Chain A
Amino acid sequence: MRANCWMGTKKVEVLEVPDPKILSSQDAIIKVTSTAICGSDLHLYDGYMPTMKRGDVIGHEFMGEVVEVGSGVRRVAVGDRVVVPFPIACGACWACERGLVSVCENSNPNAGMAEKVLGHSPCGIFGYSHMLGGYAGGQAEYVRVPFADVGPLKIEDDLPDEQVLFLSDILPTGYMGAELCDIKPGDVVAVWGAGPVGQFAMASAYLLGAEKVIAIDRFDYRLDIAATTGAMPLNYEHTNVLEELKELTAGRGPDACIDAVGMEGHHSSTALHTYDKVKQTTRLETERPHALREAILACRNGGTVSVIGVYGGMLDKFPMGAVVNRSLTIKAGQCHVHRYMRPLLDRIRNGEIDPSFVITHRMSLDEAPEGFDIFVNKEDSCNKIVLTP
C-alpha cells in the first residue's frame, strides 16, 4: 500500500510499504477514505518530537471502512464506516474505565521509553513516535486499529467524511480545551493559536456558554476563519496582547485562557523568540512556550489556564510565581477523544457545529509531502489539509 512516511527532519515521502495485517484478535483493518494533516504532525516534521524513526508511517486523523476484523471483535464489522480516535485505548484499565483514555495503561508497548521522559507513560498514539507506541499511522491506504471495539465510532448516517473526520482528534481536542475551562455565564475566554484546534476551542467555548472569545494569532487569514466562530481577533504582531486583554476585560484579564499552540510557539519579540529557539535547537529545552507563558500572565486572578497544545518534554522560564500568587488553575491533557465523539457527533447531526469550516485544502495522499510544505510555511492561506488515498 501507499503510505506517507517520516524520513527525517523536514522530509516526508509517500512510499510503498507492506499492507497491515491483524496481529491480535481485537484488531480491525481500516481502508482509509479520508485522513488529515494535524498541526501536531508539524512537530514531527520539524524534528522536535523525540524517538521518531526513518520510515515511520505518520498520521493520526483518519476514517474509513472496516475491511477485516480479528476473531474477538464484536462491536464493528466488515463494511462499517468508522472514525478512529487518535489515542489507542484498551478500554479495560483503571484509566480507561474513568474515561481517561489518553493515559490508557496498556496501549503503549514502549511505555519504558515514555517513562524515561515523562515519568509515567501515556497511551499509544497512531503514527506519533516510538515513545508513544511505534504504531503505523493513518496517512496511508490501510491502517491496523488495535482495540477495535473500544475506539472506532460507527457513522451510520450519510454525513460526509469532511463533517465527521475531525471527530478523530481536533474537534474533541478543541472542545476539551474549552470544557477544561469550566465556563460560567459571562466568562471571557482567550485562545492562543487560531489554527484548527484553536478555532474549534473557540466555537466550543461559545457552545459552552462563553460571553466573549478572543482569538490570538499572527496570521490574519487564520484570524479571519476564527472570526467566523464569533471570536474577536487579536494579531500579536500588531498589538500588545497582555495590555489589550486587560483593556478588553477592564483590567480583570480573561476568566480562562486556552493554549492551543504548544511547543513551537512564536513571539513578537525577536530576542525572546531567539532565546527559546536556540535552547530548543540545542535541545536545552524541548519547547518554545511563549503562548503558555503569556496565557498564564494574562489570566485573571483565580482563573483557569487550559493547555491542549502539544508539549514533549521540558521548558524553562515558567512563570510559576503568577500561578501560585494569583491562585491559577492549570489543566491539561491529550484529548480523551473517546468520551467526546458521540456527543459531538450528535451536535454535528443537530447542526450545532459543522467542523468542515476549517478545511482549506483537499489533496490526494500522494501529495502529502507538498501538503506538509505549504502547511508548515503557512503558504496559500493553508489552515487544514484533508488527504484522500
Chain B
Amino acid sequence: MAGHDSTTRKLGKLLGVASLGLGAPMLIKPERVSQAAGVDDSASSVPVIRMVGVRELGHAAGLLLGSSRWAWTRVAGDAMDLAVLGRAARERDGNRRKRALLAAAAVLGITTLDAYTALRTRRAKTGTKSADALRLQASVTISQDPETVYRFWRDLSHLPTFMYHLQSVEVMDERLSHWVANAPLRKQVEWDAEITADVASERLAWRSADGSDIPNSGEVRFAPAPGNRGTEVRVQLEYQPPGGRAGKVVAKLLGEEPEQQIRDDLRRLKQVLETGEVVLSDGSPAGTAARQQLKQRPAQPLPTTDKS
C-alpha cells in the first residue's frame, strides 16, 4: 500500500485535532459561536452551526482514524462555510458585518492549510502510480562479477530456477517474453512482458504488456561490490493490480510475506551463481522458501518412491 510521507500524516492528524476543537464548541455552545460570527440575529443560525459542528466531528474522525486524504472533506466544508459567511457579511453592516468578515478570514486561513494538506496527499500518491500497487525490493551480494550476474539474468528463461512463483519464462525476441506463473488453486497466470531498459552489466527493467491480468514491472541493478566482493544486486518489483481481486491473487501468488519471498529468490540466485544449484536439505527439500520454513518436514531423508 502506498502511504503518505510523515509530514502529510502529521498535518492530517493536526487538522483532525483542529476539527475536534472547532466542532466541540459548535455543538456545546452554538449561541456563543453564533455571536462571535455576528449571525446571532438569525433564528436559523444555531441549528446551522450545530450541523456544521457535526460535520467538523466527521472531519475529525476521518482524519484521526483514517488517512490524511480526509483533508479533502475539510476543503469542501471550508468552501461551504466561506459561502455562508460571505453571504452573512453582505447582508449585514456595522459590528456584525465586521465579526462575520473576521470569521471568514479565520476560515480562509485554515482553508489554506486544508488545501495544502489535501494536495500533499495527491502528490505522495502520484509517486507510486496507484494506491494499491505492491512494491517490493530486496538485495543480495553475489561473488561473481556484474557481467556474469547480468548475463545470467538477461536470459530471462533462467528466472524460474530461482524465482519459485514462476513456472516458465519464454524468450520471444530481444525485447519480448512470455511469463507463466503458478497461481493459487492450481491455476496459472500468464502475461507478455517487454524489456524497457537494458544497460549491459548495470541495469535491466521490464514491464508487462498492456492489458495483462496482473500489470507488473521490475528492475534489477548490478553494481560492483566494494572490496572486490562481487556484485551487489538490487531488485525492485511492482505489481499494480487494477482491481481488488487481482490484488488478492498477487498477494497469494507471492505468499504472505512477499518481501521475504523476494529475498528468498535472491538467496537462491546467489546459490545458483556461486555453487551451481539451489541448496536442498531434508527439512527444506525444495530449497529456500519462506512458506516452507514455516512448515518444515522433519530432518529425515525423503521417503523413496523409486530406487532406480
Contact = CB atoms under 8 A, between A and B. Distances in A.
Interface of A: 3, 5, 17-21, 23-26, 51, 53-57, 72, 90-94, 97, 105-113, 124, 127, 130, 133-137, 144, 146-147
Q: 6 tightest A-B contacts by CB?
A: A134-B283, A55-B298, A20-B301, A109-B284, A56-B299, A136-B282
A25 B277 contact: yes
Contacts of A106: 270-271, 274-275, 279
Nearest to B229: A94
A112 B279 contact: no
Interface stretch (B27-35, B82-90, B177-185, B259-267): B259-267
A146 B276 CA distance: 13
B290 interface: yes
16 contacts: A5-B300, A18-B300, A18-B303, A23-B302, A53-B297, A55-B298, A55-B300, A57-B298, A90-B271, A90-B274, A90-B279, A91-B275, A92-B274, A94-B141, A110-B283, A130-B296
A112 B265 CA distance: 12
A92 B303 contact: no
B62 interface: no
B287 interface: yes
Question: Interface on chain B toward A: helix, strand, loop, or mixed SS?
Answer: loop
A70 to B, nearest CB: 10
A92 B296 contact: no
B301 A109 contact: no
Contact of A111 (B141, B267, B277, B304): B267
Given A90-B274, A92-B275, A106-B275, A53 B298 contact: yes
Question: Interface on chain A toward B: helix, strand, loop, or mixed SS?
Answer: loop
Contacts, number: 129
Contacts of A24: 277, 279-280
Contacts of A23: 280, 285, 302
Contact of A144 (B230, B298, B301, B303): B301
Q: How large is the interface on B (under 10, 10 to 19, 20 to 34, 35 or more residues)?
A: 20 to 34
A92 B148 CA distance: 15
A342 B269 CA distance: 32
A134 B299 contact: yes
Contacts of A3: 300
B288 interface: yes
B296 A134 contact: yes
A223 B87 CA distance: 99
Contacts of B230: 94
Contact of A105 (B270, B276, B283): B270
A105 B229 CA distance: 13
B300 A124 contact: no
B296 A18 contact: no
Contacts of B229: 94
A17 B301 contact: yes
A175 B121 CA distance: 62
B284 A134 contact: yes
